[in-house]
Structure 1
Amino acid sequence: MSTPTAPDSPLARRLLPRLGLAGVIFFGLAYMAPGIVTSTFGVVSSESGGVAPTAYLVATIAMGLTAVSYAILARAYPNSGSSYTYVGKMLGRHMGFLAGWVILLDYLFLPMVAWLIQSIYLNAQFPGIPLWVWVLINIVPTTIINLLGIKLADRVNTWFTIVAMASLVVTAAVIVAYLTSGSAPASSPSEAFWNDNTSILTIGGAAAVAAYSFLGFDAVSTLSEETRNPRRNIPRGIILVVLIGGTIFVSVSFLMQLMHPGGSFENPDIAGYTLQVTAGGQTFANVNNVIALIAAFGSGLAIQATSSRLLYVIGRDGVLPRTVFGRLNAFRVPWVNILIIAAIGLIGMLLDIAQATALINFGAFLAFALVNVSCFVWIRRTRDRRSTTATTLLSVVPILGVAVDLFLFSQLHDTAFVLGGAWLVLGIIVLAVATRGFRRPVPKLDEELDSEVNAADEEVTVTP
């Protein structure tokens, strides 16, 4: 039985642990939206010279390196905050704030992009309903569910993610039936992984595109304080989300590549939909498309939930105004942040998707690189816990992770550097104000939180 928590205790400002490992995995998968493989297949296949599964496999390994770094640090520091927390612990509070600030580009704009793309597709399927109505249909219920607590959000998200996965399974089954019917062109399975048009350079470029499909695995770390036994479940959740997502991407793209050998498409952007029409007919493609779009509701739910947690941790520390960003409602969720993200989603109707996407990529890959550097520093600082050989081998992971992240960062469009650079400058200004011209330490919640959190990890009892 745990003792009551004083209202003014730092532990009272900690989110409540209600999620298990399954809930964490479903949130991560919903954030990644594995069904996106059918939308991106044409572009990845075209870029790789007709070996999409190879590109996705390389991307899985590449993102897996950063996932390992996240998992190591999540086990060491089971507090919410993601890159903001990890970089702050290892590289100092100033760098921690900047890492959190740039990853905010991912967390603030990805919900907007997810809702907007979802609404655009639904509007195309049902043109009689205006785009702005679809935007409201996506944002309002999602926001209400998230305001009512993480347990409800977990249940709703789990069911929508199951439906999304079922849609992918049906798609795969239809393609397999088509491939075995004798109607498909003869194709060697090995050519789906390597052919005469393939090179390491083309696969590298395609893997850079495919890697964008993995954005969001890091969001699992923002749920640390709302997860039971976070030292165990968050690291496992991070790794499993990448492995499950990568397996789905490679498997589905392999079947689609067998169905359409080579990387030449009349329109790569709709190649996945076209292949579904060929394999199962127009009616199947339309119905499956609608089911997938409805199921993708869970993606917006997960993205809004995790984004609000990062804002909360930064606000709780006082770097952003605590009275705005560091508040919890009766359901112990950061309600103001949830509403802010919903408002940004509404504003998204007036913005360009390409620019918003550029912002997302800039923040994600830069923050990923900083987390890998932080992991390397942690490994070196704790080298007395393991042998020299083990430390050396373990250090290879974040080193390779940094190299991959910086390569992906270098592949971004010029727009990303312009807009992302402007956001970074704004962050430096915010940091200067918060530290009175860098003369004071970066604000932080009482260090007592860490000791209380560690002591409470095995003791806190949550009433259902």
Structure 2
Amino acid sequence: MNRSEPSNSNPQKPPLPPEATDEAHTVESFGYTQELRRSISTTDLIIYGLIFMVPIAPWAIFGTVYNEAKGMVPLVYTIGLIAMIFTALSYSQMSRRVPLAGSVFSYVGAGVHPNLGFFAGWVMLLDYLLVPTLLYVFAAESMVGIFPGTERWIWALVFVAINTIVNLAGVNSIKLMNRLFLIMELFFVAAFIVIAVTTLNGGTLPNAEWATTPMWNPSEVTAPLIAAALSIAVLSFLGFDGIATMAEESTGGHRSAGRAMIVSLIVVAVLFITQTWLASLLAGGIDAFPEDKVGNAFFDIVAAASTTGWAKAFLVCNVLAVGIANAMAAQAATSRLLFSMSRDKKLPGFLHQVNKRQVPQNAILVVSGLSAILVVFFVGQIGLISSMVNFGALSGFLLLHFAVIWSYTVRGRSKDWLNHVILPGIGFLIIGYVLMNSDILAKIGGLCWLLVGIIVFIVYRKKGAGISALPAEPQPTPEETTTRQDI
């Protein structure tokens, strides 16, 4: 059996001390057996988070964000970091108490109620199941640009096959690929910085000079612009939360996932801000990119500042980072969420079976199969897929913040108002604002997904109770409150 069950009809899991040693924060302490291989260090988790968020992510959308933000692209990513740090802190709070692969499914199920946990996991599935499809569509579109006349669906299936093989090969293969791709991406980030600094110092591009206006231009900053930037920025950082799905494979203790999420978020934000600031300077202060130049704005800037050869190399790097590295990380995260929900008998049981390399083989194959099918139908529908992904992620984040407040303050009677009320409350309001202003098609699609979830919930409700709730948190002494480490 994958989950230990006492012989009585009302199984009770062993209680988990909320601030105990690593030995108390184990899979077994929640009534499960350790099936996934523990071989991922905190450093590997950070690398995984960076790969999932893609250090070079601004390249593909630079022109779009530049036009929307009146040239203040680095300001957008600064706002995004400030906004998403609240969500990262909430993940940190819950991941150290519930170190399971289910992410928000496990956090909400343990911290609030197993039934609500199912719906938290279900809305996140909308994000995780569609993210690989979105990435394959992105990569396929770019490959057709590099090799005109080729079929998009062929490239998409090639990427699906590569990532499936790597994921089935085990965690060590994922770690190796993550490190190789991170080195590649950081090399090109460094190359761009050198190109940009050399060009700005040499004055070889018209109107390209050092300035701080891309960071903050008082004449252009308005409340509506900041609001629009917030929506763009929050969505640009989706992916750091995938670290939580690898918690059962971490060797760094119960605080490892939370620390890795915060570190990777800050690191990638610095990379985003640096690259977009330099690219905005190289743009020479133009008001907006023409419609037919928006998609390749960044690569055109690289070509103008260096050579066409460099621009093509940057484009190839972008395709590989999205189609293989990012999609590979997304597939790993999705399979772990399916594994966790299946283990709690909320999804078909075959999804939590693992292979000899201790990875959820069937879940990985299901994600690959769905991606292969969906890319055929969603080619050319990048906007629709993106909006659906965003709805799922933001809905899951809302429930995450609620879980922190409810589990620590309402049920646990915590007096740590900053970490357990104020910070998650701010995060809840930010995510709620962005969700309310999301695309109408995303809202309709999300509601349809929830209706399907209700049907699935009814079908599997009698098959298992899910993860047991956490016990109430004992009140810390004044000395513990002043010395407690929250991250």
Q: Deviations over 1:329-360 (max 9, x none)?
A: 11111111111111122111222322222210
Q: 1:265 aligned to 2:265?
A: no
Match in the other structure for 1:6: none
Structure 1 segment 49-198 matched on structure 2, within 5 A: 49-184=70-205, 185=207, 187=209, 189-195=211-217, 196-198=219-221
- Give the CA deviation at 1:14: 3.3
Match in the other structure for 2:314: 288
Q: 1:212 aligned to 2:259?
A: no
Q: Deviations over 1:33-71 (max 9, x none)?
A: 121111122222211222111111011110111011001
Question: Would you say the 8 A contact 1:55–1:204 is kept in 2?
Answer: no
User: Could you tell me which of 408, 413, 436 is aligned with 1:379?
Assistant: 408
- Report the Cα distance in structure 2 between the residues aligned to 1:394 and 1:170, rounded to whole angstroms: 42
Q: Deviations over 1:155-208 (max 9, x none)?
A: 112111221121122122211111111123155622112221221320220231
Structure 1 segment 2-13 matched on structure 2, within 5 A: 11-12=32-33
- Report the Cα distance in structure 1 between the residues aligned to 2:127 and 2:208, rounded to whole angstroms: 42
Question: Would you say the 8 A contact 2:72–2:216 is kept in 1?
Answer: yes
Q: 1:263 to 1:318 in 2, by over 3 A?
A: farther
Question: Secondary structure of 1:368's match?
Answer: helix
Question: Would you say the 8 A contact 1:362–1:416 is kept in 2?
Answer: yes
Q: Deviations over 1:366-422 (max 9, x none)?
A: 11011011112233157766xx5x424652110110011011112211110111110
Identical pairs, percent: 27
- Report the Cα distance in structure 2 between the residues aligned to 1:200 and 1:270, rounded to whole angstroms: 29
Q: 1:23 aligned to 2:44?
A: yes
- Give the CA deviation at 1:11: 4.5
Question: Would you say the 8 A contact 1:73–1:375 is kept in 2?
Answer: yes
Amino acid at match of 2:94: L
- Report the Cα distance in structure 2 between the residues aligned to 1:40 and 1:112, rounded to whole angstroms: 18
Structure 1 segment 280-429 matched on structure 2, within 5 A: 280-296=306-322, 297-322=324-349, 324-347=350-373, 348-351=375-378, 352-381=381-410, 388=415, 390-392=416-418, 394-429=420-455
Question: Would you say the 8 A contact 1:47–1:203 is kept in 2?
Answer: no
Question: Would you say the 8 A contact 1:65–1:400 is kept in 2?
Answer: yes
Higher helix share: 1
- Give the CA deviation at 1:321: 1.4
Question: Would you say the 8 A contact 1:51–1:262 is kept in 2?
Answer: no
Q: 1:18 to 1:155 in 2, by over 3 A?
A: same
How big is the alpha-carbon RMSD for the aligned residues of Structure 1 and Structure 2?
A: 2.2
- Report the Cα distance in structure 2 between the residues aligned to 1:186 and 1:27, rounded to whole angstroms: 35
Question: Secondary structure of 1:444's match?
Answer: coil
- Report the Cα distance in structure 1 between the residues aligned to 2:181 and 2:343, rounded to whole angstroms: 31
- Give the CA deviation at 1:76: 1.3
Mark the runs of 5 or more structure 1 residues left unpaired by the alignment.
3-8, 449-464
TM-score by length of 1: 0.88
Question: Would you say the 8 A contact 2:203–2:209 is kept in 1?
Answer: no
Amino acid at match of 2:41: G
Q: Deviations over 1:241-269 (max 9, x none)?
A: 11011111111111111122254111333
Question: Secondary structure of 1:189's match?
Answer: coil
Question: Would you say the 8 A contact 1:113–1:356 is kept in 2?
Answer: yes
Amino acid at match of 1:276: V
Q: Deviations over 1:8-37 (max 9, x none)?
A: x96445322110011111111111112111
Mark the runs of 5 or more structure 2 residues left unpaired by the alignment.
1-22, 24-29, 471-487
Question: Which consecutive segments of 4 or more residues in structure 1 shift more than 3 A?
Answer: 9-14, 381-385, 445-448
Question: Secondary structure of 2:184's match?
Answer: helix
Match in the other structure for 1:451: none
Match in the other structure for 1:249: 272
Q: 1:148 to 1:408 in 2, by over 3 A?
A: same
- Give the CA deviation at 1:424: 0.6
Match in the other structure for 1:452: none
- Report the Cα distance in structure 1 between the residues aligned to 2:436 and 2:361, rounded to whole angstroms: 36
Q: 1:248 to 1:315 in 2, by over 3 A?
A: same
Q: Deviations over 1:63-114 (max 9, x none)?
A: 1110110011101111111110111112211111001000001110101111
Amino acid at match of 2:394: F
Q: 1:367 to 1:263 in 2, by over 3 A?
A: farther
Match in the other structure for 2:251: 228
- Report the Cα distance in structure 2 between the residues aligned to 1:186 and 1:148, rounded to whole angstroms: 48
Question: Would you say the 8 A contact 1:160–1:295 is kept in 2?
Answer: yes
- Report the Cα distance in structure 1 between the residues aligned to 2:468 and 2:221, rounded to whole angstroms: 55
Question: Would you say the 8 A contact 1:42–1:263 is kept in 2?
Answer: no
Amino acid at match of 1:265: F
Question: Would you say the 8 A contact 2:80–2:236 is kept in 1?
Answer: no
User: Could you tell me which of 458, 465, 468 is aligned with 1:443?
Assistant: 465
Q: 1:247 to 1:315 in 2, by over 3 A?
A: same
- Report the Cα distance in structure 1 between the residues aligned to 2:164 and 2:397, rounded to whole angstroms: 28
